[in-house]
Structure 1
């Protein structure tokens, strides 16, 4: 009797690189002649962005841009001045090995930022950016799917895996001319601006991936009349987008997802119109799943066997996660009590996400960083900042068992309440969005050898033996120990499950 082994090549996921790179930011800036002298520094803000990246067989290279905004007031004036500068950095990281279909994730975060006035005409800003780098890839692993002959018994488990993966990256540009309207004063200079991407959805049509969403633009600007009086004004508008992304050979059997990233937002004000141009990066993924029966154990009832096990990490189709969480902070001002509030921005840092399989929730903890731009009783701008630790829980709507979470946490919106004593209560709504990727490690067989020359020697010539089974013992382990089949034991003892519910005596039929 010949031994026939059916094999299959399946993709398994491996982590190629998981590292963090640090980049220092140093700026020495001399004010141009048309800007007033520095009298008081209000604050300094830095925002990092990955502009572009490339992946080669042995390294990755990326361009990092840091947008720096320094707010100050001149002598004898409460009008806020804004210094805007950009700094570019080219960085690279070596890959320890090559991989098929590498997937790169880059997450930049500001570690710290501060500034000081060296002289009335010169500013000095210092900061640091940390970039989390994660590269994963696929490799093909040969596993046993089925075995025939030589009285071989098999133990199998069904596994669904990502058989086909398609990815594409597309940069798009959104342009719009926004009228200020009669109620808005003309823009003198933009102090703050922020782009939030919302309502994103994907669909597959005729072999194309359609990505839709909205880009919400929020900005704060200064204005000034001819008599020298002025102040600050906020503004908000939305730019919708709908894009077709070419992805090879995808159809309705694929599950699709897309992540939109803001590369830049250029705002150019004129007398009555604000010209807005936003560049987005769409990172799209489509996955088609397949099923396979993995052989995890094997033996022959008549011949000695030698098996070769292999441990494989198998990714299944990701499930989209979109959940909101609430957290809060309290800002207690010092001597300068705010009389009015112009703008509130919230960010999160030091995020830690933990999957809780017992409650099927996601535990999210970190620091809520609040930055509030206000004015005191004299009209002087003041920047109030507060970091508050938070802990929140999200319901992903799907099982978190044996899964890997690849998601981000970002503030969706934030509100405040100003009390009479100047205390400010901040309520922030955090959005957890990304993918929950079911991933499990299995030990299966990549090879099996059966020694057909030597038969197993039994301890006697019998067709039935007695065996005392313990509670929760697997019938497979009993069959393997006694060189018989699982079906024969279950039929002889009228067992409904392949695990013993109670301890007791079993009849073990011997098969050949």
Structure 2
């Protein structure tokens, strides 16, 4: 008898929850008083995920870009602030060796002016987490060397995490605004969308290539005018993961944890250059699907044996699926719109289900449209509209992990007070498929017989519904081959009502 230790991943917990982050923001001394807050653009950065006894701790930051007007003349001032937050999941069976897949996104932001130098911010975060443990089990993998033993084999598949690691990459790019455009006055807002194009696994490392699309909103030297500049930055990097091999799979996640954009002068001394600096944090998890044939049941024809069994539950595979949906909505503003400055939007999941090989997702888009009215004053219009979408998956038996991102926003004024908004939303779904099966952990011979002595050398048995040849042979302590041979049949598939001759060996 041969035993071996198998290593496999098990999903031990999953949770979707919300967290409230609230803080008072003080206006910097070098900025003017607040008259009215127009919008708040917020995003989350997860800095650390730590597993502990029965809990997963999450530490992160809420990055805020607060836009306000100090007067009625069309000026727009920004405040960039960061608020630390902590959150935890209670997960039964969790310990320090577990790993967690976590996504945190902003669902809604409320703000109010306390006084001319203080703004209160309340943000609702959606935090989802799936927790995995690394299991080790000693099982029987081979009993072919033991005489007088009948055994049933099964091929099992299980996911095994080889390792994970993360790395930070610094990117820098200088973009010049087009000739003829007005000079840059102040940077108002910087949006970045990051997408990994592909990855490649070589020995002990994961190679990653991606693209970052940056949109910079700024005011010009002509007071009250807003312009946007868009650019793309390509990046490539590698992450060291010992044990990674080319045939394995990797799951990568990228996040921009630092961004800084400053205005530089060109050769003529004019503010026409944007210096963009970004820090990208990339995490990679390398896994492999192991497949092996093991005995799952055993008996002896002449001896009394007692197999010891356990039921283990593993992730036998994980599958990533994505889709992109375009959402359109026409809204009516309070005032006539001369120009749309920008639209900030957050996707909110209200419900999701799995049916007919699809993950069905319902939710709303929470938006805030900033615009200039006929008089040149800055206004904003907040609201939400519902959406429904789906992602195709392989079957309905897995455990889903969802994330949504708005990757593009466009808009058009179609009437004096009416604006058509178009959002491109990327939907990411990871499905973890689980399977439970019996494994043999030991085989022992016992002295006291569990079977009565057979008094006959031949028994006639009538096949019942759902019978299989293994169970019949085990019941009468004979072999499948002997039943097939004496009945002159070569197909193990049995038909209910068939009479079988069961040869019984002397015991």
Q: Same fold (TM over 0.5)?
A: yes
CA 1:62/1:349 → structure 2, altered by over 3 Å: closer, same or farther? same
Q: Which residue of 2 aligns with 1:124?
A: 120
Q: Which residue of 2 aligns with 1:261?
A: 255
Question: Does the Cα contact within 8 Å between 2:27 and 2:79 map onto a contact in 1?
Answer: no
Matches within 5 A, 1:373-384: 373-384=370-381
In structure 1, list runs of 5 or more residues that go unmatched.
none
CA 1:435/1:331 → structure 2, altered by over 3 Å: closer, same or farther? same
CA 1:95/1:311 → structure 2, altered by over 3 Å: closer, same or farther? same
Q: Which residue of 1 aligns with 2:502?
A: 509
The worse-fitting range, judged by mean Cα deviation, of 432-441 and 187-196 is 432-441
- Measured after TM superposition, the shift of residue 283 of structure 1 is 0.9
Q: Distance in 2 between matches of 1:494 and 1:42?
A: 86
Question: Does the Cα contact within 8 Å between 2:357 and 2:392 map onto a contact in 1?
Answer: yes
**1:429 and 2:428 correspond:** no
What TM-score, normalized by structure 1, do the two folds share?
Answer: 0.85
Question: Does the Cα contact within 8 Å between 2:334 and 2:417 map onto a contact in 1?
Answer: no
Question: Does the Cα contact within 8 Å between 1:327 and 1:392 map onto a contact in 2?
Answer: no
Q: Which residue of 2 aligns with 1:408?
A: 403
- Measured after TM superposition, the shift of residue 139 of structure 1 is 1.8
What TM-score, normalized by structure 2, do the two folds share?
Answer: 0.85
Count of aligned residue pairs for this structure pair: 497
Q: Distance in 2 between matches of 1:317 and 1:15?
A: 11
Match of 2:4 among 5, 8, 33: 8
Q: Distance in 1 between matches of 2:411 and 2:491?
A: 59
Q: Which residue of 2 aligns with 1:243?
A: 237
Question: Does the Cα contact within 8 Å between 2:323 and 2:427 map onto a contact in 1?
Answer: yes
Q: Distance in 1 between matches of 2:384 and 2:113?
A: 25
Question: Does the Cα contact within 8 Å between 1:58 and 1:94 map onto a contact in 2?
Answer: yes
- Secondary structure of 1:230's partner? coil
CA 1:130/1:152 → structure 2, altered by over 3 Å: closer, same or farther? same
CA 1:307/1:339 → structure 2, altered by over 3 Å: closer, same or farther? farther
- Measured after TM superposition, the shift of residue 426 of structure 1 is 3.5
CA 1:282/1:75 → structure 2, altered by over 3 Å: closer, same or farther? closer
Q: Distance in 1 between matches of 2:195 and 2:337?
A: 32
CA 1:70/1:90 → structure 2, altered by over 3 Å: closer, same or farther? same
Q: Distance in 2 between matches of 1:387 and 1:294?
A: 55
Q: Distance in 1 between matches of 2:95 and 2:482?
A: 45
Matches within 5 A, 1:361-372: 361-372=358-369
Root mean square deviation of aligned Cα: 3.2
CA 1:244/1:304 → structure 2, altered by over 3 Å: closer, same or farther? same
Question: Does the Cα contact within 8 Å between 2:197 and 2:210 map onto a contact in 1?
Answer: yes
Matches within 5 A, 1:90-489: 102-148=98-144, 149=146, 151-163=148-160, 165-205=162-202, 207-225=204-222, 229-270=223-264, 271-321=271-321, 323-350=322-349, 352-356=351-355, 359-396=356-393, 399-400=394-395, 402-420=397-415, 422-433=417-428, 435-451=430-446, 454=449, 456-458=451-453, 460-470=455-465, 472-489=466-483
CA 1:296/1:339 → structure 2, altered by over 3 Å: closer, same or farther? farther
Q: Distance in 1 between matches of 2:422 and 2:504?
A: 70
